[in-house]
Amino acid sequence: MDKIILIKYGELTTKKNNRNLFINLLYENIKNKLKKYNVKIVKNRVRMFIETDDNIDEIVNILSNIFGIHSIVVAYKVDNNIDSIKTNVLDIVKNISFKTFKVETKRSDKRFPIPSMEFNNVIGGLILKNIPNVSVDVHNPEYELKIEIREDYAYIYTKEIKGAGGYPVGVAGKGLLMLSGGIDSPVAGYLAMKRGIKIECIYFESPPHTSIQAKNKVKKLVEKLSKYNSNIVLNVINFTEIQEAIYKYCPKEYMITIMRRMMYRISEQVARKRKALVIINGESVGQVASQTLNSMNVINNVTNYPVIRPVACLDKLEIIDISKKIDTYETSILPYEDCCTIFLPKHPVINPILERAINYENNFDYETLINTAVNNVETIVIDKENKKFDI
């Protein structure tokens, strides 16, 4: 009996007009993630089918992180006539241990002579007759045998695994993720990808105040995120001169406000250059002084570019839960300094005033510094399959 992986599409089935675009992109994303395996992928409007001689569990594991998939089913592909289905069902259930069961047939090929409900009874009866000590429970069965009768073959499901949901990465266009080494921004990136946004990242470093370990930690985070989105581009911006100028020319309590205004200005320029349509970051309302609504208002004032903050309204514990689930948490908590933390004033302003921020930052020629930083961006492509970083 041939095993086959069936992929059921996620939310995309509701988007009638874009359906082909969704399916084609999902197909490309899957093909890309499985390129080192020997697989045959066939797609139609309702399902995708993957056949392989390689390790099915490994492939299912990779598929379970690909957005746009509602569920993954490992099924046996058998001839779609009554006798073949019967024989194969017995072969399959023989090896499974259960006390109660239910059969659910879906007959999409109406030429098949027995209606679904009736066929449930036929197969249910067959199992009761051949397998000792089992009974039918239609409400809460221990084992659910699903049979899908299609025009080419019949598929007998063994197990159904929940997919990652969301939309295929890339379908929504590109976004630029402001990625620090912290807990929040990788989670923000994950959530953005889940909605179909292909991400690129931007990281601000301030050598020698920030170390190579801090940068490698960010690379490691990008590598972890590339599980969901292959080949992520990381734009590294040297922020040292700007940060030193802020330190020199602006009052301590406004440093963070002004620093973040500079980050937004640079992010907008890089986003335009890289053709990203939105900026994404890990800000969460009220978490720190720069994330009060007042601060966000003054900081965001430098740009008209759309900014998405996927974790804005989540509690820290909720963010941590996701970061553990996506395996970024352990990397995020490594104790390397961030450029935000090294110049951190004791009492950053909680309710900054826009006019003051503008006056202070006009104490130095930030536009030239910003242009230099943007022109000297270091662009790194990080592909999970190819690289490992020492941290």
Q: Name the site residues for Mg ion (rule: CB under 5 A).
A: 180, 182, 338
What is the smallest separation between the CB atom of 203 and ligand ATP, expressed in angstroms?
5
Tell me, by CB under 6 A, how many residues bind ligand ATP: 19
Smaller CB separation from Mg ion, 268 or 338? 338
Q: Hey, what amino acid is at 229?
A: N
Burial of 171-192, coded b for 16+ CB within 10 Å and e otherwise, reads bbebbbbbbbbbbbbbbbbbbb
Q: Which residue has the tokens 């056949």?
A: 51
Smaller CB separation from Mg ion, 52 or 287? 287
232 contact, one of ligand ATP, Mg ion, none, CB 5-8 Å limit per kind = none
Burial class (CB in 10 A: 0-12, 13-18, 19+), 111: exposed
Q: Which of 184, 200, 223, 361 binds ligand ATP (CB under 6 A)?
A: 184
Query: Three-state SS for 261?
Result: helix
Q: Is the peptide bond before 352 cis (omega within 30 degrees of 0)?
A: no
Q: Which of 4, 34, 73, 178 binds ligand ATP (CB under 6 A)?
A: 178
340 binds ligand ATP (CB under 6 A): yes
185 binds ligand ATP (CB under 6 A): yes
What is the smallest separation between the CB atom of 193 and ligand ATP, expressed in angstroms?
15
Q: Which residues contact 121 (CB under 8 A, 6 or more apart)?
A: none
- 197-216: which residues touch ligand ATP (CB under 6 A)? 202-204
282 contact, one of ligand ATP, Mg ion, none, CB 5-8 Å limit per kind = ligand ATP
| Rounded Cα gap, residues 185 and 189, in angstroms | 6
Selection from 264, 261, 314, 254 nearest residue 284 by Cα: 314
191 contact, one of Mg ion, ligand ATP, none, CB 5-8 Å limit per kind = none
Stretch that binds ligand ATP, among 117-125, 142-150, 175-183, 379-387 (CB under 6 A): 175-183
Q: Write out the H or E segment, with its range, that includes residue 28.
A: helix 19-33
Residue 256, token pair as written in the block:
């963070």
Please report, as ranges, the residues that interact with ligand ATP according to CB under 6 A.
Answer: 178-180, 182-185, 202-204, 281-283, 287-288, 290, 338-340
